[in-house]
Amino acid sequence: MRSGPVLIIIGNGITGITAARYARQHHPQMRIRVISDESDYFFSRTALMYIFMGHMRLQDTEPYERGFYATNGIELLRARVVAIDPLQRSVRLDSNQSLEYDYLLIACGSRPRYFDWPGQDLNGVQGLYSLSDLKTLEDRFRGSRMQSAVIVGGGLIGIEMAEMLHSRNVAVQMLVRESGYWGNVLPAAESRLIEREIQRHGIQLHLQTGLQSIAAHLEDPDRVGAVITTTGQRLPCDFVGITAGVEPRLDCVDASGLAIDGGILVDPYQRTSAERVFAAGDCARLCDGGGNPAAIEQLWYTGRMQGQVAGRQIAALAWRDAGETGRVDQIDTSPYQRGFGFNSAKFFTREFHTYGQVPPEPESQQTWVWLSADMTRLLRLYWQVKADRTVLSGVNAIGIRLRHAVFDDWLGAGLAVPTVIHRLDQAIFEPEFGSGVVRLIQRSWYASRQQMADPLTAPEARYG
């Protein structure tokens, strides 16, 4: 047990554990205690679907060996935090035990969003976020065969759940509120490609349809029997997956006095409104330097990045409080920088990469999309026109692996789009013996550019 100041971290996900690692790296004496009510060890939530499908066991999804924590003096505690007291600098557990801290990081993540649908509390209705959600789902299959399911919400978790149930031969239907799959994020062409993929797996897609209510089973009033959609359809089913988004988990900060607006408000240094209390990840809402809250980012990557910032900030603060300014100088204390933004996903067999700004309906940006003949691959470029030049601002790719570092460089350099096309080979990350997709894209670009009259969307005279 380390003998320095005590850091308590609520939550052992990517955010909490990353913060623990960075705090430990910069402060060897700090006593770091990580509390989780979900699991004994940090596991990759993104891999829950693979546990269900039998690709891996829970232990295989743990990013660090179980001995890692003891070796690095990171104490793990399995308990639920019910309240925090920033004035007393303590947290209270569900066992009524109180733990004191010198520094606190709240990284308790999010939970599935429910919208007060009638019947949402019936058996057989659940979201998919936590390990206990997975267990509930697995238990459901132990009892009896699941014939049919309805998944509410067309986003990343929804399609993962569809894939999971499909692997167990369940007849799946999906309700998507938008006019296209993941329509609040993806442009139409991308949505169409994924819809095609969904339907190819025999899953029925109901677009522009939401959930109205959930009806009980005729023979068992505690169990789900059917779903009533906003278009008035009645879809019999024995399972309803609620995947209409996630919201920050705030149950432990209810009476804490912390500034909350959707999520726990933090400045770019992950500091909350209370002294020595930090928050990061899904449960936090970043504000810019002027205190204006931004949208909550609920990604694995942003959780990791915020955890890095939090860990470094807490270590630096601890050194500063101890008067060790020399140690503070050794730490990179820069604030959270989102950078150009990036994300990836997998829709059944279609991999998705995205870099930069990729709005579904480009307003101040121009866009060009390439679609393969068999509609399995897609590349979309976004650019802005600045001072008679095209400046790359974003890219979407489906079925084509792209190099993160290269696009990060190109976005930073504001590379002209024709140059991007010309150098596309450098940005491809496809396996060796690949498919020659670059030639197809380039040919298509040159052909389409010849038809454009506007010089700002035509190929530039020189390739830089």
Partner 1 sequence: MRVAWLLLAAGLAFLPLRWLGWLDFLTGWLALGWLLVLPACGIIWLAAERYLNRAAGIDNDGIFFSGWHTRGWSALAAGSVLTAFYTGLYFGEDLVWPGSAHSLHDWLQAGLYQYFDPLARLLTGRVADKWFVYSTLYSYAVLLFGVRMLLKYRHQTYQVWRTLSVIFFQLSFAWLVPLWLQAMNQPGYYFSYWWPLKPEYLYPGIWLEWLGKQEGGFWGLYFLIFSAFISLIGVPVLTWYFGKRWYCSWVCGCGGLAETMGDPFRQLSQKSTRAWQIERWTIHTILLLIIAITILLWINSIYKGELLGAWSQAAARWYGFLIVSAFGGVIGVGFYPWLGSRIWCRYGCPMAAILGLIQRFYSRFRITTNGGQCISCGNCSTYCEMGIDVRWYAQRGQNIVRASCVGCGVCAAVCPRGVLRLENGPLLDRQGTEKNMVL
Rank residues 76 and 397 by Cβ distance to partner 1 and give the closer one: 397
Min dist. Cβ of residue 160 to partner 1 (A): 10
DSSP H helix total and E strand total for the chain: 12, 26
Rank residues 252 and 345 by Cβ distance to partner 1 and give the closer one: 345
Residue 318, amino acid: A
Query: Reading across the β-sheet that carries 74-78, which strands appear in turn?
Result: 74-78, 31-36, 6-10, 103-106, 277-279
- For the record, the structure tokens of 23 come out as 């705090």
DSSP string, 14-39: HHHHHHHHHHHHH-TT-EEEEEESS-
Min dist. Cβ of residue 29 to partner 1 (A): 22
Place of tokens 């709240």: 106
Residue 265 region, left (φ>0) first, then alpha (ψ -120 to 50), else beta? beta
Round to whole Å and give the CA distance between 13 and 21: 12
Round to whole Å and give the CA distance between 164 and 147: 14
Instruction: Judge residue 340's burial from the number of C-beta atoms within 10 Å of its C-beta, 0-12 exposed, 13-18 middle, 19 or more buried.
Output: middle
Rank residues 232 and 431 by Cβ distance to partner 1 and give the closer one: 431
Min dist. Cβ of residue 203 to partner 1 (A): 12
Min dist. Cβ of residue 372 to partner 1 (A): 13
> Pairing between strand 110-112 and 246-248?
antiparallel
Task: With beta carbons less than 8 A apart as the criterion, state whether 228 and 234 touch.
Answer: yes
Measured CA distances, 202 to 123, 154, 167, 181, 276 (Å) = 26, 16, 12, 16, 52
Rank residues 368 and 429 by Cβ distance to partner 1 and give the closer one: 429
Q: Is the dihedral of CA 139, 140, 145, 146 positive or negative?
A: negative
Round to whole Å and give the CA distance between 423 and 220: 62
Rank residues 52 and 269 by Cβ distance to partner 1 and give the closer one: 52
Min dist. Cβ of residue 300 to partner 1 (A): 5
Min dist. Cβ of residue 143 to partner 1 (A): 17
What angle do helix axes 300-321 and 14-26 make, rounded to 10 degrees? 30
Residues that bind partner 1 (CB under 8 A): 14, 44, 46-47, 50, 53-57, 60-63, 65, 167, 200-201, 300-301, 304, 342, 344-346, 348-349, 351, 353, 376, 401, 403-405, 408, 429-435
Rank residues 114 and 348 by Cβ distance to partner 1 and give the closer one: 348
Rank residues 205 and 211 by Cβ distance to partner 1 and give the closer one: 205
Min dist. Cβ of residue 15 to partner 1 (A): 12
- For 106, how many CA atoms within 13 A lie in the half-sphere containing its CB? 36
Rank residues 163 and 238 by Cβ distance to partner 1 and give the closer one: 163
Min dist. Cβ of residue 348 to partner 1 (A): 7
Min dist. Cβ of residue 433 to partner 1 (A): 4
Round to whole Å and give the CA distance between 61 and 16: 16
Four-point Cα dihedral 95, 108, 275, 70, nearest 10: 70
Rank residues 92 and 168 by Cβ distance to partner 1 and give the closer one: 168
Rank residues 14 and 260 by Cβ distance to partner 1 and give the closer one: 14
Round to whole Å and give the CA distance between 426 and 328: 39
Rank residues 37 and 160 by Cβ distance to partner 1 and give the closer one: 160
Question: How far out from the chain centre does Cα 268 lie?
Answer: 19
